[in-house]
Structure 1
C-alpha cells in the first residue's frame, strides 16, 4: 500500500516477538515499546531537512550538519501512545509534544474524543503521531483530522503493529500521510482486535490488564 513502510530490521523483529509474548512483564513491555519506537523514529526521520552551521572540533573548524529539533512535534494518542514517547524523545530530545485523548466505544467501535492539547504553531512543524497499534484505524483518522484542522500539513504516523484493514482505511482517506510500522499483521477479529497482535497495548503498558 502506498505511503506505508513496514520496517523489517532483524532487531525490531526480535524485540517485537518479545513484545507479543503474553508472558512478558509490564516493565519489559514498556521498555520494548520505547526501544522499537527509537528504531521507527530513526527510519521516519531519514528525509528530515538537514541544515549546516559552523563549529569548532578539537582539531579544526568545519561546517557541521544538524536538524532543527523544535520543528518536530510528537503527538501522543492517549493513553497507549505514551508508551512510545520516551523512546522517540531519545532520538529528538528537544521536540515539542502534544496530546490527543481518544477512546474506542467497545459496543460500537466508534472513536470518542475527550482531550486535545497541541503546541502553538504546530502547523509549522513536522508532526509525528504516536500510537502503538493501528486496529480499525479510527483513532488515527480522527487524530489526523484534528491536526489538519489546526493547519498541519506534514504528518507521519508511527505504530508498532498495524492491521491491513486499518491501514487501508487510513490511506483511502489520506494520500499525504506516511505510516511507519514494525509489523503488518494478518487481520482484525470480530471484536476489532489485531490478530495475532499483542493484546491491549494500553493495558499492558500500564499494568491494568
Structure 2
C-alpha cells in the first residue's frame, strides 16, 4: 500500500478509545452534577422522610444510617430509587430541572441510569476494579464484565451473590454506587422471592422499589 492510501486508514482502536474516554467523562460529570444538585436542592424534610423509609426497609436504625459504609448505600438509594412525596425520584427531578445544562452524551446516559436497579448477580471472578459476573435471575448463565465506577471500601469476592447497579457507558459496564453481598444461606430464598414478586415481566420494577430491602441480608 502506498503512502497516499495509507494516510486514509482509520485507526479504529484509537477512535474507540477516544469515544470511551468521552463517555466516561460524561458519566463522571453527570454523577457529580447529580450529587451536587441533591446536596443543594433536596428538601431537608424529604431527607428525613427518606431516612425513616430506608430504616424500615433495611432494619438499620435511623441514627446509624449516615455512618460511612451505610451512608453510601443510603445516598445512592436516595438518588436513584427513593420516591419523593410528589411521586418522583431525585434523579428524574434532576434531569427534568437541569436538562438544559446537560450534553447529549449525559442525556443519553441519563436514560439508562433511570432504569438502573439493584440487581442480583453471581460473581465469577474479581480482579482489581473489574468483575466478571452472570445474572442471578438469568437462566442462560451468560457472563459479562463490569468495572467499578468509583472504588471504595467494600469487598466482594468470587462465589458471592451481590446486589449492584450497572449502567452501560460506551463499550463498558460500570457499577454505580456500592454493591453488597448477601449471606450464602439466604440466596435461594431471596432469588425465589424476587422471581415470585416480579412475575409478568415486573422484575425490574420490583427491584427498583425493593432491591435495597435485601441489605438486611448483607453478608458478614
Same fold (TM over 0.5): no
> Which has the larger Rg?
2
| Higher strand proportion | 1
| Higher helix proportion | 2
**Larger relative contact order, structure 1 or 2 (CA cutoff 8 Å, min sep 6):** 1
